[in-house]
Chain A
Amino acid sequence: MSLKNKVALVGVDESDQIGICEGKTALMLHAEAARNALRDAGLDKSDVDGLFTAGPSVMQLAEYLGIKPSYMDSTSVGGSSFVIEVEHAAAAIEAGLCSVALITHGEMGYSARRGMASRGGGPGRFFDPEMPMMQFEMPYGVGGPPSVYSMACMRHMHEYGTKHEQLAEIAVATRKWAQLNPKAFMRDPLTIDDVLSSRWIAYPFHLLDCCLVTDAGGACVVVGAERARSLKKKPVWVLGSGEATTHGSMLNNPDLTQTPARYSGKRAFEMAGLTHKDIDVVEVYDSFTYTALVTIEELGFCKKGEGGPFLSNQRTAPGGDFPMNTNGGGLSYTHPGMYGMFLIIEAVRQVRGECGERQVPNAKTALVNGTGGSLSSTGTLILGVD
């Protein structure tokens, strides 16, 4: 049994503001995004019988939103959670356990860093002193994502000759998309030299290899095929999906140059019955420039190790032949801590043709790949319109 074409994404949106959301809480962002995505779908809160989130427990969220769902899921595996939850929603709908699935996210990454708000759940890290990560990694000054993704990138550079300039290409191309997106946080012009001369965060990462930390919420609505056809907007079908995890902490990544996207991606392509050439637009997690590079390899868009050359020459920028991260990505548009929801939102808008200046011409299929933890968990979706 396959989930291909069984469900569609019918509503997506961000919270009212993204970037810096002064005077808001993370839960308020969940609620705003839920209202906006339901409005986009032409559905009412009373229609929702499946609720999915990551960050807070879904029971806390259900209470806050005033929903009593018959199906609930708070899969919390970092930034990929929301992408994975689309697959879970598809399975639940196909099994008849719910009919209108609402997935929400809200996180005050920017404000929490400045002591102005609490983050709102987030990718809960390492604070239990008995956990293996606390015993075997934190005593060495290993902690936040830059401190561990940098070690994965270093091994990739060593094995495959990947260069700082190639990583910088991604940051620059992504910024060009952000310049076309009024909602993007960083829209000033950016050059390769700007990236290479920005300060070190964790060698081999410069500051501008690293994503933003913003406040933002987002939501999407998933329904079965029949319901989808009755709604006002063009259904965006889930053609393929996959999820995978290979490790928790970076130390235990079986091969530091890999990610579980090689498994989740393969499953998604097999379900969709499509090949890489069939994909019109690619939205992949870019917590770091390297995350996008390694993900493109792991998904099989190029040979292993050739991500650097493959993504160079501004090929992923507006007008290039490999449009990637067309909202401006986590690098320049928004990244509140877990970014996966925003990949879904942009993919849906692209295949609907709603992207205005940054619209990829004739985009009919989109691939989404969310990554969570320390390159630990991935969810892949292949989406398309009739």
Chain B
Amino acid sequence: MNEASRPLPRPTPDTQRYWEGCKRHELWLPFCLRCEHFFFYPRVFCPRCFSWEIEWRQSSGRGTLYTYAIQYRPQGPGFQPPYVTAIVQLEEGPRMMTNLIDIEPDPEKIRCDMPVEIVFQDMSDEITLPMARPAGSAK
């Protein structure tokens, strides 16, 4: 992939702490202190109980592959098909969109519910993106 030119997020006041965490190669998630659950994507309130009592907690970065697709048409600049888009089920509860990396884009090799772990790729001075790879596939 041409990592430099893919569309990058513009952090907003409600998501800044998430992106700051990514920059440190840490996954931080908002947690609602009233109904006691993690949620994603970040907001300044809990989308379930509408409480504004939120704190940030670090995720283990462990999860499973909820679903995926192999993209054969680039959905923007900076993507070289085929590439794998994935929704990861984090063990804390929320799901996040990401790319599945360090695996061939081959349905024989990729299975829903396989264990994955979050790793980080620095995309620019400002933005680091969390990615998923098969658990235990450390290089």
A and B associate: yes
Chain A residues whose C-beta falls within 8 Å of the C-beta of B74 in the assembled complex: 141
Bitwise interface map of B from 122 to 133 toward A, beta carbon under 8 Å scored 1, else 0 = 010001010000
- Given A137-B97, A139-B6, A140-B97, check contact A155 B112 (CB 8 Å): yes
Chain A residues whose C-beta falls within 8 Å of the C-beta of B58 in the assembled complex: none
Interchain CB contact under 8 A, A146 and B73 = yes
Distance in Å: Cβ of A160 to nearest Cβ of chain B: 12
How many A-B pairs with Cβ below 8 Å? 108
Interchain CB contact under 8 A, B76 and A138 = yes
- Interface size bucket, A side? 20 to 34
> CA of A200 to CA of B10 in the docked complex: distance in angstroms?
32
Nearest B residue to A157, CB-CB: B112
Interchain CB contact under 8 A, B129 and A139 = yes
- Among A154, A199, A200, max chain B CB count under 10 A is at A154
Residue B12 at the chain A interface, CB threshold 8 Å: yes
> CA of A144 to CA of B79 in the docked complex: distance in angstroms?
14
Interchain CB contact under 8 A, B72 and A202 = yes
Residue B87 at the chain A interface, CB threshold 8 Å: yes
> CA of A136 to CA of B11 in the docked complex: distance in angstroms?
10
- Of A141, A203, A250, the contact of B107 (CB 8 Å cutoff): A203
Nearest A residue to B1, CB-CB: A141
Interchain CB contact under 8 A, A151 and B75 = no
Chain B residues whose C-beta falls within 8 Å of the C-beta of A147 in the assembled complex: 69, 71, 73, 75, 85
Interchain CB contact under 8 A, A151 and B76 = no
Residue A143 at the chain B interface, CB threshold 8 Å: yes
Nearest B residue to A147, CB-CB: B75
Chain B residues whose C-beta falls within 8 Å of the C-beta of A141 in the assembled complex: 6, 71, 74-76, 78-79, 83, 85, 99
Bitwise interface map of B from 72 to 92 toward A, beta carbon under 8 Å scored 1, else 0 = 111110110011011100000
- Given A130-B10, A141-B99, check contact A203 B72 (CB 8 Å): yes
Residue A189 at the chain B interface, CB threshold 8 Å: no
> CA of A256 to CA of B66 in the docked complex: distance in angstroms?
9
Distance in Å: Cβ of A257 to nearest Cβ of chain B: 9
Residue A150 at the chain B interface, CB threshold 8 Å: yes
Chain B residues whose C-beta falls within 8 Å of the C-beta of A158 in the assembled complex: 67, 111-113
Chain B residues whose C-beta falls within 8 Å of the C-beta of A138 in the assembled complex: 7, 75-76
Residue A132 at the chain B interface, CB threshold 8 Å: yes
Interchain CB contact under 8 A, B10 and A129 = yes
Interchain CB contact under 8 A, B112 and A151 = no
Residue A97 at the chain B interface, CB threshold 8 Å: no
Residue B98 at the chain A interface, CB threshold 8 Å: yes
- Given A140-B98, A158-B67, check contact A200 B6 (CB 8 Å): no
> CA of A148 to CA of B86 in the docked complex: distance in angstroms?
10
- Given A151-B85, A202-B70, check contact A132 B7 (CB 8 Å): no
Residue A142 at the chain B interface, CB threshold 8 Å: yes
> Of residues 106 to 120 in B, which have CB atoms within 8 Å of A's CB atoms?
107, 111-113
Nearest B residue to A131, CB-CB: B12
Interchain CB contact under 8 A, A256 and B87 = yes
Distance in Å: Cβ of A384 to nearest Cβ of chain B: 38
> CA of A109 to CA of B127 in the docked complex: distance in angstroms?
34
> Of residues 239 to 266 in A, which have CB atoms within 8 Å of B's CB atoms?
250-251, 256
Residue A152 at the chain B interface, CB threshold 8 Å: yes
> With contacts A137-B97, A138-B75 known, what are 4 further pairs, Cβ within 8 A?
A130-B12, A135-B10, A141-B79, A205-B69
Enumerate chain B interface residues (CB-CB to A < 8 A): 6-12, 15, 40-41, 66-76, 78-79, 82-83, 85-87, 95-99, 107, 111-113, 123, 127, 129
A–B complex contacts, Cβ < 8 Å, 23 sampled: A134-B10, A135-B41, A136-B96, A139-B8, A141-B74, A141-B83, A141-B85, A142-B75, A144-B73, A147-B85, A150-B69, A150-B71, A152-B67, A155-B66, A155-B67, A201-B73, A202-B73, A203-B70, A204-B69, A251-B41, A251-B97, A256-B67, A256-B87
